Amino acid sequence: MKKFSIGLILALAGLTIGLLFASAAPEVVAAEKVLKVRMGGGIAGIDPATIFQIENQSIALNVYNGLVKYNEKTNDIEPDLATSWEISGGGKVYTFNLRKGVKFHKGYGNFTAEDVKYSYDRVVKPETGSRYKGEFQNVVKTEILNPYQIRFTMKKAFNFLHKVAINQGHIVKKAAVEKFGDDYPLNPIGTGPFVFDKWIQGSEVHLVANKDYFGGAPKIDRVVMKVIKEEAAAEIAFLNREIDVFWAMRSADVINRLKKQSKVTVQERPANHTINFVLNTTYKPLGNKKVRQAIAYAINRKAIVEDFFQNLTGMARSAALTSNFPEYSDNVKQYNYNPDLAKKMLAEAGYPNGFDLDVIGISLFPYSEIPVIIAEDLRKVGINPTVKIIERSAYGQARAKGEIQTAITGIVGAPDPDHPLWRLYHTSSFPPGMNTARYGAVDSLLEKAQVEQNTKRRMKLYEQIQQQVVEDIPVIPLYEAFVYQAFNNNVKGLPLNSMATINFYPVSMD
């Protein structure tokens, strides 16, 4: 019998135990990369046919795709679910070649031309109650040529690409819409880089990376959008690293403080929209043009820009177009602050003692504060204002019904003049659309400008539209909006677009 030393026995035992522990060691799993983003309010629904408000639009940008999209740096149109397209028939026929192998979220199958047709047909059906049915009113025929090719024929030539690049252009799945019914807006199914995971009422939205995304999986695993209404509270959370991105900053004090912080980047860019005071012309006093003009003279818009926003916004001088639009014209009537003239005009209009007026705002800064400023100015000229601040979802419902006397709004979206002007001033955009003013005096001009192919004539038409609308003043532009957002130095690649939405797909994190 062989003899073994105690040392050898212990060494062998140690080796055996080491091997056992090595084989039982858990696999090292990389930590989930979670991007935490502040948003100012909760969500109301992510259905492209009815979507409203910037929070909902931003989530939709990450959950859905359209046929085309805007390049976030240049605002040029580029492919998305369509890989290419042909325009023929003198600009009346658009044929799109669709991307193959694209899958809808949560097992809802492959994307095909059927989904495009269903999505756009749904927008124009009256029972959908879409805010955007007017956007497709020029389409007379939709043809599915094969599962990956679709053709649209128009009444008149116009730039259809702008109509399918945002909001109403996003593609939904019929099976998902029918399954969830009225609950679909909070159960959105798209093809985008992120999948809608959950909405914790009043608190958080969770998006998770779509590993099967046709453009490649996102570089982050999850996005948590946290509702922090007060910007001062959001600033503290941001500096404490409780959030990585401070999105949609509007407070001049907060913006200026964060600009001085090290290891923080503050981005800024002119937006594509103005913020406006909309007057519902079906309310008797506001149906009088002289009254509306008096209100325009009564509001000290320069003070809003210079004092309230500390010049971090721009002066608005035209009809919902900012000065970075090529079609913008300031060759329009100007309403410089003149309370004495406002009083005189109210008296001439038959309201020497003023009238009652609801000034409606949203429970989100600055739209909760601006009504107070406007009300003070109106009170000085004899109008009796009542400030009403409404929660965002209730505000959206009130606008959709078209019953509120006033509204403060911006038409956020495409860098195309037809987008804000059509939505604010065309009769096809009457509630539930955005034409809360119920103004319709420029329908013919809008329709001509939409289809005009000659650049010089098109520019002239848009100048005429702005001149007419500013003269009639159903909507008072308060200021030109700028987009501000801040992020900590662990965030890389966050874009800033002029549409005020936020895109998480290019983002990576250290």
Confidence at residue 26, expressed as pLDDT on a 0 to 100 scale = 54
Q: How are beta strands 384-390 and 491-492 bridged, if at all?
A: unpaired
What gap in Å lies between CA 392 and CA 39, rounded to an integer?
A: 13
CATH number of the domain at 31-64+192-263+489-510, out of 3.40.50.720, 3.40.50.300, 3.30.300.130, 3.40.190.10?
3.40.190.10
pLDDT in tens, 319-367: 889 988 889 999 999 999 999 999 999 999 999 999 999 999 988 889 9
pLDDT band of 23, cuts 50, 70, 90: very low
Confidence at residue 9, expressed as pLDDT on a 0 to 100 scale = 41
pLDDT above 70 (res 259): yes
pLDDT above 50 (res 19): no
pLDDT in tens, 50-67: 988 889 999 999 999 999
CATH number of 65-180: 3.90.76.10
pLDDT band of 134, cuts 50, 70, 90: confident
pLDDT band of 433, cuts 50, 70, 90: confident
Instruction: Report the Cα–Cα distance between both ends of the chain, in Å, rounded.
Output: 62
Whether 65-180 shares its CATH topology with 273-480 is answered no
Confidence at residue 16, expressed as pLDDT on a 0 to 100 scale = 44
Domain boundaries, the chain: 31-64+192-263+489-510, 65-180, 273-480
pLDDT in tens, 390-404: 987 788 888 888 889
Q: Average pLDDT of the chain? A: 91
What gap in Å lies between CA 464 and CA 442, rounded to an integer?
A: 9
Strand-pairing partners, residue 88, are: 93
273-480: which CATH architecture?
Roll (3.10)
Q: Compute CA distances 17 → 9, 23, 28, whole Å.
A: 12, 10, 21
